[in-house]
Structure 1
Amino acid sequence: MIGLEDLLAVARAAAAEGGRLLSTSGPGNVQTKGDRDFVTDLDLRIQRSIREYLGRAAPHIGFLGEEQEPNAPEHDAPELRWVLDPIDGTSNFIHGIPLCAVSLALTRHDAPILGVITAPFLNLEYYAIAGQGAFCNDHRIKASDTQSLSHAIVSIGDYAVGNNASVKNRHRLALTTALAAEVERVRMFGSAALDLAWVAEGRTDACVLLSNKPWDMSAGVVIAREGGAHVTDSDGQHHDARSAHTVAAAPGVSAALLDLVGTALTDSDR
């Protein structure tokens, strides 16, 4: 059995190849997946390339990618699975905004145990193994020491599109309003992977993402935790694959932020 250190090397190499393609290729054909939701030829190309590489390097491990591929082979190894977002921040990429990344995690029973996030336009590579700390460009990173929401930079996820967007955005707008009244600044980067990695690194102090898709969150969750951030659902419960939302925060602001988020979401349902 390949150890986690070796699997991290495999994941870093795979994500690096994805990052190379992301930084040297155009989007190609852009197709609509749903209301204001897009997939490019490059999304599919990166996913195919990484899946093939991982299949050769670790054929015993399953695979889940954001972009569904017709006739893609399935694996009979539910315990371990790679989880990939080939371009996290596709809309940013299409518009030439450099806030996008390749996000690759290894999960055991759907819990992330290893993660790599490569943002080639920013020359940033984040990675972590559960229990071994988080790193950016081979330097150890940690969440901020901020103790007050009034001194906190907090990022939020994109506003919703597609089915029930108006209902979902009622929650998001209430959250934005509540944060704007309390925190130093609110930011929206358009990449969940970078939201979580930047909390791990202390660039930001928290992120509140009202979603929990595995390809969006898995790599960033393990990196944020290993950076010392508290990662929970919006109700403060431990974050896992069943969580509705994803909140990562520096320890000094986590409790206050969760109180604010809980109140905002409750009030928006009234």
Structure 2
Amino acid sequence: MTDYAQFLPLAQEAVDLAHDLMRTLQPGALTFKNDRDMASEVDYAIERAVREHLAAKAPDIGFLGEEYGSSGDTSTLTWALDPVDGTVNFIHGSPLCAISLGLIHGTDAVLGVIDLPFLGTRYHAAKGHGAHANNRRIHASRVTDLKDAVVAIGDYAVGTEAGRKNTERLAITEQLTRHVQRIRMHGSAAIDLAWLAQGRIDAFIMLNNKPWDTVAGVVIAREAGALVVDIDGTPHSVNAVATIGGGELILPHVLTLIQRSLTPVKPA
């Protein structure tokens, strides 16, 4: 059985490079990729630097980045990078942005490093070794009742079919307002999953799944004791259609609420 912790020092080195770039560079010109979806010059600069560093140090591991796509052999081990998770926050000067570097084995998340350069916190985990924030062990929430839960939701959709997608998101939001203590939208899946691991939120709902957004956070959340699943409740993988997480005691209630939100009401 592979001990994925052997790759943590290299992942930390790569994220150190990214941290310094995010802290020192200005967003620069924006490249619009889709309706209201953009990348900054920093997104591209970080991905180039991390990709080159990892290719030089571990040439047998493939790479998948948000901005430049895949390279190398991605059939077994693959790095997954979101160079700036929360780009809109970053370009608006919000500290709620992150660097997210994960490692995939097959279709499973096995290692993750998430750095919050403007909040001074770094999270890391390797499968079987627990989750840590600034090298201190962290644990997910043990909340049992929705009325006591703070639930984060992913951004509303933009681009193709945004109207249909947001109908589903708004239905879930409406159900959440009836049952949970508070709702939060941080604008960064990496932060949501890291804060799920740390117990700062009790559950997280995102109706999509892009590996660069989720791989690192999924392994960190799981190693902290949270469950992360697809919308049907099956274990989350890179092929999942949604990313839903929570402490083991609250997640069944969250999934029931989601299903209730998305089930069409039959006419009387």
Q: Give the TM interval when normalised to the shorter protein.
A: over 0.9
Match of 1:22 in 2: 22
1:200 is aligned to 197
Which amino acid is the alignment partner of residue 106 of structure 1?
Answer: L
Instruction: Indicate conservation of the 8 Å contact 2:168/2:261, yes or no.
Output: yes
SS of match in other structure, 1:23 = helix
Distance 1:61 1:269 in 2: 50
Deviation, 1:3, is 5.7
Alignment-mate amino acid for residue 20 of structure 1: D
* Distance apart, 1:250 and its partner CA: 1.1
**2-side partners of 1:30 and 1:177: how far apart?**
34
Matches within 5 A, 1:154-193: 154-193=151-190
State the shift of 1:266 in Å: 1.8
Displacement of 1:131 in angstroms is 1.2
TM-score, reference length from structure 2: 0.96
| 2:84 equivalent in structure 1 | 87
Secondary structure of 1:121 counterpart: coil
**By how many angstroms is 1:239 displaced?**
1.1
Aligned-pair CA distance for 1:269: 10
Displacement of 1:46 in angstroms is: 0.2
- Please state how far the C-alpha of 1:150 moved relative to its aligned partner: 0.4
User: For residues 149 and 17 of structure 1, do their structure 2 counterparts lie closer, same or farther at Cα, with a shift above 3 Å needed?
Assistant: same
For the residue of structure 1 that corresponds to 2:264, the secondary structure is helix
Check conservation: 1:60, 1:77, Cα contact below 8 A. no
In 2: Cα distance, 1:167 partner to 1:76 partner: 36
Structure 2 counterpart of 1:111: 108
- Distance across 1 between alignment mates of 2:208 and 2:224: 21
Q: What is the CA–CA distance in structure 1 between the aligned matches of 2:184 and 2:264, rounded to whole Å?
A: 22
Which residue among 91, 95, 98 is the counterpart of 1:98? Answer: 95
Within 2, Cα distance between the matches of 1:212 and 1:114? 17
Q: The residue matched to 1:59 in structure 2 has which SS?
A: coil
- Residues 56 and 196 (structure 1), Cα distance of their counterparts in 2 relative to 1, 3 Å cut: same
Match of 1:64? 64
What is the alpha-carbon root mean square deviation over aligned residues? 1.6
TM-score by length of 1: 0.95
Structure 2 distance, partners of 1:85, 1:53, is 15
Q: Deviations over 1:14-42 (max 9, x none)?
A: 11210111111101111110000001111
Residue equivalent to 2:260: 263
Match of 2:141 in 1: 144
Amino acid at match of 2:20: R
Among candidates 53, 67, 75, match of residue 72 of structure 2: 75
Matched, 1:248 2:245: yes
Query: What do the CA deviations read for 1:83-141 (whole angstroms, capped 9, x no partner)?
Result: 00000000000101110000000111121110000001000100000111100000000
- The question of whether the paired residues in 2 share the 8 Å contact of 1:15 and 1:102 is answered with yes
**Matched residue type, 2:109:** P
Q: Does 1:227 align with 2:224?
A: yes
Does the C-alpha gap of structure 1 residues 76 and 234 become closer, same or farther in structure 2, counting only changes over 3 Å?
A: closer
For structure 2, which runs of at least 5 residues remain unmatched after alignment?
none
CA drift at 1:77:
4.8
Aligned to 2:9: 9
Q: For the structure 1 residues 55 and 152, does the alpha-carbon distance in structure 2 shift closer, same or farther, using more than 3 Å as the test?
A: same
Structure 1 residue runs of 4 or more that deviate by more than 2 Å after TM superposition: 2-6, 267-270
Report the Cα offset of residue 153 of structure 1: 0.4
Displacement after TM superposition at 1:5 (Å): 2.7
